[in-house]
């Protein structure tokens, strides 16, 4: 797994990353929404490769005006879903939060079917389910400081 700031993404990797996200969030999920939302430039991007192919990604978006950071655009290639890669991505993101943003609450907006995964990492639901571009979502939060302890219990860590 590799972390990159936006300005560290080569044109080829940026294209690959955006194409990957489009294939999952727009085409596969049949969801016409603006993936290019203006937040990538200030985000840290985590890229997962399996057998040299892009297999997963997510981004961390810090908010300078508040002590919060958002995890978003969590995606895993369809061919390897159900093998723990989403958990691995999230654990790496939480490790980054512990290191760089220990005093920040960690927020995310997740599809409802992924709620058990996020809850197992310490997140709590903060909203009723709602429709977001035709998909059911909930807002979730991991309080400031809680990232220190989430997802690290014996037996939870899985390396792909």
For the stretch 58-95, pLDDT in tens is 999 998 777 899 999 999 999 999 999 999 999 999 99
- Residue 35 vs residue 127, higher pLDDT: 127
**Phi-psi sector, 62: left (phi>0), alpha (psi -120 to 50), beta:** beta
Closest CA to 141 of 103, 106, 89: 106
pTM reported for the whole predicted model: 0.88
32 versus 129: the higher-pLDDT residue is: 129
Region 128-144: mean pLDDT is 95
pLDDT over threshold 50, residue 155: no
Q: Which pLDDT value is given to residue 31?
A: 87
Cβ(32)–Cβ(17) under 8 Å?
no
Domain layout of the chain by residue ranges: 2-148
In angstroms, the first-to-last Cα distance of the chain is: 10
Is residue 153 scored above 70 in pLDDT? no
pLDDT of residue 34: 84
**94-102 CB contacts, 8 Å cutoff, 24+ apart:** 94/121, 94/142, 94/147, 94/150, 94/151, 96/3, 96/44, 96/46, 96/60, 97/60, 97/69, 97/147, 98/147, 98/148, 101/60, 101/62, 101/69, 101/147, 102/144, 102/145, 102/147, 102/148
Summarize pLDDT for 3-16 with one digit per residue, the tens. Answer: 999 999 999 999 99
Strand 105-111 to 68-76 pairing: parallel
CA 21 to chain centre: 12
| Contact of 55 with 85, CB cutoff 8 Å | yes
Q: What is the pLDDT of residue 146?
A: 77
Please report the pLDDT score of residue 145 as a whole number.
Answer: 78
CATH superfamily, domain at 2-148: Gcn5-related N-acetyltransferase (GNAT) (3.40.630.30)
Q: pLDDT > 90: what percent of the chain?
A: 80
Identify the CA nearest to 142 among candidates 69, 42, 77. 69
Q: How far apart are CA 132 and CA 127, in angstroms?
A: 13
CA distance 105 to 142: 6
> In the chain, what percentage of residues exceed pLDDT 70?
91
């Amino acid at each position: 797994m590799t972390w990159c700031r936006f300005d560290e993404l080569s044109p080829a990797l940026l294209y690959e990353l955006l194409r990957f996200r489009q294939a999952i969030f727009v085409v596969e999920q049949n969801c016409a929404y603006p993936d290019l939302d203006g937040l990538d430039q200030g985000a840290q991007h985590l890229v997962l490769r399996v057998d040299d192919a892009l297999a997963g990604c997510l981004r961390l978006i810090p908010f300078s005006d508040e002590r919060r950071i958002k995890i978003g655009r969590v995606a895993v290639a369809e061919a390897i879903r159900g093998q723990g890669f989403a958990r691995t991505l999230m654990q790496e993101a939480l490790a980054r939060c512990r290191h760089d943003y220990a005093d920040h609450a960690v927020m995310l907006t997740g599809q409802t079917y992924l709620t058990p995964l996020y809850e197992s990492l310490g997140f709590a639901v903060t909203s009723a389910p709602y429709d977001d571009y035709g998909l059911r979502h909930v807002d979730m939060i991991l309080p400031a400081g809680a990232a220190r302890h989430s997802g690290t219990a014996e037996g939870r860590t899985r390396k792909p």
